[in-house]
Structure 1
Amino acid sequence: MGRTWRDPALDAAVEAVGEGYLRAGVVLLGETHQDPELRSLRTGALSQAAVGRSGAIAELLDDAGDSADILLWFGNTLINEAWAIRGGSYANAVGSDRFKMFFSTLSNAHEPLLEAARSRPEDPVPWECMIWFALGMQLGRPEQDAIWDELTSRCPTLFAGHWGRLQAVAEKWGGSHEEMFEHARKAVALAPAGNPLTAMLPLAHLEYLLSEEGRLVEQNKMMAYMKFSMTYFSESVIGELKEAERRWTADARPHPRDLDAHHLFGGVFFRETDTHDLAARHLAQVGNRVGEAAPWGYKGDPAEEFAGALRKLKLPIPSGEQVN
């Protein structure tokens, strides 16, 4: 995910880490020990910023007092480096040499993440990271389920953890559409009032739309594609999405993942003309912060797709550089 946060300190640290000043990342992670959501957000952002610098992070361990933060950052940066090597294509489009590099890099993430988990037994974030490790290493469902159990026993509502688990049980990774929607609906039911975790439901719908529309295009069934796209948002689908949205917004409290949730709800409501008012309400709140994944990264450049949606909704395009 891109810079979908309201955290000026994290903005500054991401820039510093990108320029090689890694101590800035260590300081920021040290501030998150009592806040799993903030720790998850900052770990993800700093790891993405540090891609290509995992070796330098490892060197920080030599004089670290409390090494858990560095181990977590190191392990997750290796995961990000591995997925950058693999790319976002389906497996049949990834060459064998690239797969070898992917597995080699990814396998190195396991031990530092386990050590981070041992160092801070209450921390759910190493287990969140291991969802992506397990997915990439093609571990079996029992192993993936065990990781999920470790995470939820520590923080059952961790936003990014639920996002990762939704991907892990989706059809494209060997699960099913049914299991993906079951996970999303359980997340909605689990979410405390005012918590953006209910955004797992629009994420599931966006994943399903991407999968089915892609399948119809691949089969050159354009009439079926048009019918599917035009009739998908039935009264029951819209009603369930609106109820999930209300569970969050009726009593919303500040949360590190607010902007991600606004994008997800805004993106799914944008797909149906009758809910453009709700789409506009959400997308008007995100400024120029655009994530790399759902909903705008599925079909093209995220910033361009987002700007196109704003134009169609007759919303002003934010000034300044689009962040993605």
Structure 2
Amino acid sequence: MRIFRRRKGGQTVGGAFVVGRVWKDIALDVAVEAVEEGYLNAGIALLGETHRDPELRSLRLDALSRAAVGRSQGIAELLDGSRDRADILLWLGRTVIDEAWAIRGGSFAESIGEDRYKMFFATLSGAHDPLMEAARLRPDDPVPWESMIWFAMGMQFDRVEEEVIWEETVSRSDTLFSAHWARLQALTEKWGGSHEEMFAHARDAVAIAPAGHPLTAMLALAHLEHLLAEERRLVLENKMMAYVRFGMKYFSEQVVDELKEAERRWTAHATPHPRDLEAHHLFGAIFMRETTTHDLAARHLRQVGNRVGRGAPWSYQGDPAEELAAAMRKLRIPLPASDA
């Protein structure tokens, strides 16, 4: 039985969107394709270029690990006689995490069977030792600790243990975009946190973000998570009128003003960043939800080209490419014809 299905990271949908590659990094495109075909050394070469850039390192690790799902054993075999042990161990640990989450799937906990959960935990447990050894070999690297946030969520660590991992992460890089995204997920209500904790984290991220840094998009992500959670709850409770009222009244003047200020903190002084496209998607999606901010939604969605992720924010409502295409049509943004 095949546990993992190979899925091309650069799948083009409807001649318009490349799904799963939310970056502007030609070298990463090439390496992802090579890894998907089994040429794993391409991944090691690319990670080796990132030792002084945690933001780029986390992005490339994320992409390469997803491309390598089902090939963790091949990555482990690269350790024999290698001088790049920290990079290989990091990639191995993160790929095992992604393999485990591929087994679990993206469904809510109540819809996952016991057998799948057992396989999920058994697989995920194999990520710990490689990540900790990678952290030991490169003690200043925050990226192994960022990966440990996802490990801890899956293994259902308690809050004290999660706090230790978070402190280890931010002590090495306090504005790492992907780490803040992971931490926000860990604080959501669906993972045992609360809306209050999640928003507190998002607002802290906005406050510490340097001028021109896309980290302020964490506030957009928090609102999208809040909307998803509350709308899902109302649907499950069959409270359709309450569902409609919730959506209509959600965007108060205070909510809109806070989102606009977070957006300005980034865009008024924006400098190129590996996670720019993800931030544009987040702000575009949240401003799309409120009719008075469609101009801002359009401003951001014009920046994403034909790249869309498989997950948040567009997967919250349905197929990501279809949802993004619908948003662009509503905003009268021409759909891209080919890769930008």
Letter aligned with residue 324 of structure 2: F
Tell me what 1:301 maps to: 319
- Count of paired positions: 322
1:118 matched to 2:132: no
- Deviation at 1:63? 2.2
Tell me what 2:69 maps to: 51
Distance 1:264 1:212 in 2: 18
Change (3 A) 1:297 1:321: farther
- Within a 5 Å distance, the mapping from 1:127-166 to structure 2 comes to 127-166=145-184
Letter aligned with residue 126 of structure 2: N
- 1:42-83: CA deviation from partner (whole Å, max 9, x where unpaired): 000000000000000000000211200000000000000000
- Within a 5 Å distance, the mapping from 1:29-68 to structure 2 comes to 29-68=47-86
1:168 matched to 2:173: no
- 1:278-312: CA deviation from partner (whole Å, max 9, x where unpaired): 00000000011001222101121100000000000
- 1:236-255: CA deviation from partner (whole Å, max 9, x where unpaired): 00000000000000000000
1:25 matched to 2:43: yes
Runs of 4+ displaced beyond 2 Å: none
Distance 1:321 1:185 in 2: 34
- Deviation at 1:320? 2.8
- Deviation at 1:34? 0.3
Tell me what 2:236 maps to: 218
- Deviation at 1:90? 1.2
Q: Of the candidates 86, 97, 101, which is equivalent to residue 115 of structure 2?
A: 97
Root mean square deviation of aligned Cα: 1.0
- Higher relative CO (Cα under 8 Å, sequence separation at least 6) belongs to 2
Unaligned runs of 5+ in 2: 1-18
- 1:203-228: CA deviation from partner (whole Å, max 9, x where unpaired): 00000000000111111111110011
- Within a 5 Å distance, the mapping from 1:237-276 to structure 2 comes to 237-276=255-294
The answer (yes or no) to whether the contact 2:35–2:43 under 8 Å persists in 1 is: yes
SS of 1:25 mapped into structure 2:
helix
Distance 1:191 1:144 in 2: 22
- 1:257-284: CA deviation from partner (whole Å, max 9, x where unpaired): 0000000000000001110000000000
Distance 1:28 1:203 in 2: 29
Q: Indicate the percent of aligned positions where both proteins have the same amino acid.
A: 71
- 1:183-235: CA deviation from partner (whole Å, max 9, x where unpaired): 00000001000000000000000000000001111111111100110111110
SS of 2:332 mapped into structure 1:
coil
SS of 2:316 mapped into structure 1:
coil
Q: Of the candidates 106, 117, 125, which is equivalent to residue 124 of structure 2?
A: 106
Distance 1:91 1:75 in 2: 23
Distance 2:241 2:339 in 1: 38
1:284 matched to 2:296: no
- Deviation at 1:92? 1.2
Tell me what 2:216 maps to: 198
The answer (yes or no) to whether the contact 2:305–2:339 under 8 Å persists in 1 is: no
Change (3 A) 1:169 1:50: same
SS of 1:306 mapped into structure 2:
helix
SS of 2:78 mapped into structure 1:
helix
SS of 2:315 mapped into structure 1:
coil
**TM-score, normalized by length of structure 2?**
0.94
